[in-house]
Amino acid sequence: MESIAKRGMGALLLTLLAGAPAWAADGAGKSSAEADRAPAVGDAAPDFALTTLDGATIRLSELIRQGPVVLVELRGWVGYQCPVCSRQVGDLVAHAAEFRKAGARVVLVYPGPKEQVGDRAREFMRATELPDGFTFVTDPDMAFTGFWGLRWAADGENAYPATFVIDPAGKVRYAEISHSHGGRASAEDVLRVLADPAVQSLPKQPVAQRQWLDALKAQFMRVAPAERVALYERGIQDVAHSGVMEKAKRVGEPAPDFDLPDARGRHVRLSDALRDHPIVLTWYRGGWCPYCNIQLRALQERLDEIHALGGELFAITPELPDEALSTAEKNALQFVVLSDLGNKVADAYGLRYELPADIVAALKAHVDLAARNGDATATLPLAATYVIDQHGVIRYAFVDPDYRKRADPEEVLDALRTLKKENVRPQGM
C-alpha cells in the first residue's frame, strides 16, 4: 500500500521551544474590530499545554479523556488584580460539587508578561483554595491567549475574559467572550451546558490525530495576518515544486541503511534493528513544531499496538540530541528518537529540502534552527513515515510537502498487520 500524498499548500507555523506555539505574535496580528478569532461553538478546540504554579503541565487532549473541560480565561494583572475575575472564580468554586457531579474539570488561565506572571498569579490566588477538579495555570507572554484569539492588545490589558465548555470529543459546546471588563459566564450558565448528556459522554475512541491537526490549522488561519499566511503558502509551494517529492523513496524500494545516535548518545543501525522487527520510521522537523508534537503523541498512544504487531518505532529529527531528549521528555515518548545532523539520512531517503529564503527570515524571529540543529544549512525533512519490512523493503510510505498532513496511525498499523499476516522475515531466521 502506498500513500504518498499529493502536493499541498500550507504555512510554516512558528512555535515556542516549550511546545506551546509562539502564537502571541501571530494571534495579535489582526485587530479586535475584525471577526471573532476565538474558537466558536461547534469548532474543534485546538490543543494546548499550560503549566501550573507547581510546574506540572496540563494538556487539553489528555484532560478531555476524563470528561468535559471548562476553560476560563482571566484578565491577569492589569495594574491591579481584576475584582470581576475574582468574583467569577469564587462563583465557580462555590459550585465545585456540581462540576464534579458533571464529571467536568475547570481550568483557570492567568495570562501576563513572562517576567511577572508567576508572582502575580500567586498573588491572585493567595486567598483562594481550589477544590478538587480545578486547575490554575499561567500563560506567559500570552502565547495561548494570542493563539486562541483572546489577546486584548489595548494598553494595560492582556486578554478578553472568556469561558468555554469543551466536550470529550474535543468540540466547543459553549463560548462566552467579553470585550469589556464584565460580562462573565456564571457557574449556572456553564452547568446548564454540562447538563446535556451528550456533553458528558466519553467517546469510544480518543480524539483522532487528524482532528487535532485540523483544529490547529483552522485556528492559525483565524488568527494569522493575511500577509503572513500568504508568505508561508508561497513557501510551501516552493518546496512542493522543488523536485523533492520526486526524489523521495517509495513503496517497493530498498530502505537506505543508517547509523544514528539516539537522544542519549546510543547508536542505532537500521539493518541491525530489522533483524528483530519491521520498523516504523517517521521524521519530524523539531520539537518547536506543534504539528510534529501532535503526531509524536499520536504515535505514542498507539505504541503498544505497534509492538503487539511485532513492530518497532523510530523517530528521526535534524535536531541535536539534547533537543531530541527535551522533545521526548516533554511528550513522554517511550520510543527511540534519533538525531540526523545535517539531514544526511533524510537526504538518502530523498526527504531533505532547503527552506526558501523568505521563510528562513520569518523563522529567525521565533526559532533558531542553526542552534537547535547544530547546522547552518537551513534544511528540513519532509513530513514522512515509512514501514520497512525485515528484508529492508519499504512497504508503506507517506510523504507530503504540506507539513500539516501526517500519516494516519491506523494506516501504519494496517501496514504492520499485513506484514504479520505475510510473516516476512530475514533469510536464515
DSSP for 107-138 reads EEEEEE-HHHHHHHHHHHHTT--PPTTEEEEE
**Percent helix / strand / coil, the chain, rounded to 5:** 35, 20, 45
CA distances from 103 to 60, 194, 269, 360 (A): 15, 9, 47, 46
Q: pLDDT band for 234, please (50, 70, 90 cuts).
A: confident
pLDDT at 196: 93
Lowest mean pLDDT among 113-127, 144-158, 183-197, 351-365: 351-365
Mean pLDDT of 42-64: 96
Average pLDDT over residues 183-198: 95
Confidence of residue 264 (pLDDT cuts 50, 70, 90): confident
What per-residue confidence (pLDDT) applies to 55? Answer: 94
Could you report the per-residue pLDDT of 385-419, keeping only the tens digit for each? 999 999 999 999 999 999 999 999 999 999 999 99
At residue 205 the predicted structure's pLDDT band, cuts being 50, 70 and 90, is: confident
The pLDDT value given to residue 16: 32
Mean pLDDT of 306-319: 98
Q: What is the mean pLDDT of residues 183-194?
A: 96
Mean pLDDT of 285-300: 95
What pLDDT shows up at residue 229?
A: 87
Going along the chain from its start, the domains and CATH numbers come out as: 30-209 (3.40.30.10), 224-422 (3.40.30.10)
> Which three three-digit cell numbers place residue 282?
517517521
Q: Cα dihedral sign for 161, 136, 112, 80?
A: positive
Query: What is the per-residue pLDDT for 11?
Result: 28
pLDDT at 364: 82
- Confidence (pLDDT) at 36: 62
pLDDT tens digits, residue range 100-144?
A: 999 999 999 999 999 999 999 999 999 899 999 999 999 999 999
As to burial, measured by CB atoms within 10 angstroms (0-12 exposed, 13-18 middle, 19+ buried), residue 227 is exposed
The C-alpha cell of 215 is what?
A: 483544529
Q: At 257, is the pLDDT very low, low, confident or very high (cuts 50, 70, 90)? A: very high
Q: What is the mean pLDDT of residues 63-91?
A: 96
How far CA 252 is from CA of 248, 249, 388, in Å, comes to 12, 9, 10
pLDDT value at position 6?
A: 29
Of the chain, the percentage scoring pLDDT greater than 70 comes to: 90
> What is the pLDDT confidence band of residue 425, given thresholds at 50, 70 and 90?
low
What's the whole-number average pLDDT of the chain?
89
> Does residue 78 register a pLDDT over 80?
yes
Q: Report CA 295 to chain centroid distance, whole Å.
A: 8
> Global pTM?
0.85
d(CA 380, CA 358): 15
Q: What is the mean pLDDT of residues 186-207?
A: 91
Q: Which helix or strand (DSSP H or E) is residue 60 part of? A: helix 60-63
CA separation for the pair 280, 345 (Å, rounded): 15
| Range scoring the smallest mean pLDDT among 3-17, 79-93, 303-317, 355-369 | 3-17
Say if CB 390 and CB 278 are below 8 A apart.
yes
Q: How many CB atoms lie within 10 A of CB 328?
A: 22
Q: Which residue has the cell 495561548?
A: 144
pLDDT tens readout for residues 15-52? 332 333 443 333 344 444 344 689 999 999 999 999 99
